[in-house]
Structure 1
Amino acid sequence: MKVHETFEIWRGEKYVDNEFKQFLEKIFSVGIWKEYEKNFPNEVQKIMYDFTCLDEDVQIRCPGNLVIVAQKQKQIETFFDSVEGASWDDGSIRISREKLRSFYDFSLQIITETLREILNQNLNIGFSVLVGGLAESQILRQHITDQFGRQYKVLCPLRPQEAILKGAVELGRNPEMVEPQRKRPAWFRCWS
């Protein structure tokens, strides 16, 4: 099975989020993080959203409830003593640029391999459009531009996650604007 055929099942954004959650579990311990996740799911969602919106700034405000749950065991600053790539900074979790980048490594590798497979088929492709939640990341946009920007124009809409929703709405309104599935190349499905 080729990489791009498995891409429909695998989602880059979910993998990056999972890496980040595992890193938080490593900082606070699995028990503390699970208790926090169970009792404050809305705050966990906010942390994840703040994380996915990060570009240059890698500082995330730590919710008070997480501090309270963690400090039942020890002072919040001490959780960061043995963790490489993160530190406590007056109410915020500071993550080094290198550590942040490491959350994306696997996703970037898979996306790069998938794009190379598609582009090596000598199709008449002049540009690549980045859409979806992962395209919100400056790390992804820069990586794709570095890898493919010399050969192809790389585009990204202002709100790349909304582009998928808007495309789905337009397709629902006018299904004839896209040729039937059986006529489209198989690789097109991985970007749908």
Structure 2
Amino acid sequence: MEDENPRTAEDAAENPRGDRVLDAGALRALAHPLRVKIYDILSQYGPQTASSLAERLGESSGSTSYHLRALAKQDLIHEVDGRGSGRERWWERPRGGVSFANAEAIKTPSGRAATQIVMGEFFKLRQEQLMHFIDRGLAEEEEEWQEGSMISTATARLTPEQSAELSRNIMALIDDAVDKYRTQTGENVRPVTIRADLFPLPELEDQGALS
């Protein structure tokens, strides 16, 4: 695992780690389903070439090359120094956290639309990974990986301040694990996705509008 995955639930105004908050231009560049997939693969699996991405995604290398260049123009990705050649360029995501939560960007219709597309595609991919694990991983993964995995949900009644405190505590645990194991290699080491969702539920009388 080369780096932590993009943050989505963090208030951009509270940014003690110095995560990059994507501006409107970067969000618009990323607001394409295939680009989100490319960015996510680079985040989870590390450096790739246009050819390796094309094979993973069922696309042509010309298509993935085009989208890689579009991402690179916004410094969302960059070439790996000293690796590859003119014909086989390797790309990676810069190290460091990324936040989609840009309060200024969502004030404009285009910025809000781009943010919704990026976050929608990102969580769609995460949901697909979760369902793949439920459908196949629970039965097919080795016992040690089954015991080392967790799918959990809970409900609590909190104030906004308590919710913010809990968010910080959860992120501190995740940040510690990412910092400690970011570049780990070796036997039985695999990328692991870490997902934490914490948000207020709609009031009970509003539930009908969501059903």
Fold agreement, TM-score > 0.5: no
Larger-Rg structure: 1
Higher helix share: 1
TM-score, normalised via structure 2 length:
0.29
Q: Which has the higher contact order (CA 8 A, sep 6+)?
A: 2
TM-score, normalised via structure 1 length:
0.31
